[in-house]
A = this chain, B = another copy of it.
Amino acid sequence: MYEERLDKARERVIETISQNMNLYGITPSVGRLYGLLYFQAVPMTLDEMKEELGMSKTSMSTSVRNLLELKMVEKVWRKGSRKDQYQAEEDWHQTFVDLFTTKWRPSISMNISAIEKSLKEINLLLEEENAPEEVLAAAREDVTKLHEALNYYDWLGRLVNSFETGEIYQLVPKERNS
Q: Give the interface of A toward B (CB within 8 A).
A: 2-3, 5-6, 8-10, 12-13, 15-17, 19-20, 22-23, 25, 38-39, 41, 90, 92-93, 96, 103-104, 107, 110-111, 114-115, 117-119, 121-122, 125, 128, 131-132, 135, 138-139, 141-142, 145-146, 148-149, 151-152, 154-156, 158-159, 162, 167-168, 170-176
Contact = CB atoms under 8 A, between A and B. Distances in A.
User: Copy number in this complex?
Assistant: 2
A16 B155 contact: no
13 contacts: A2-B135, A3-B132, A9-B117, A9-B142, A12-B118, A16-B111, A16-B115, A90-B145, A93-B155, A155-B176, A162-B171, A162-B172, A167-B171
B174 A13 contact: no
A131 B16 contact: no
Given A39-B145, A151-B174, A155-B172, A121 B8 contact: yes
Given A9-B125, A13-B115, A151-B174, 8 more contacts: A6-B122, A6-B125, A10-B118, A12-B118, A20-B110, A38-B145, A90-B145, A93-B152
A10 B10 CA distance: 49
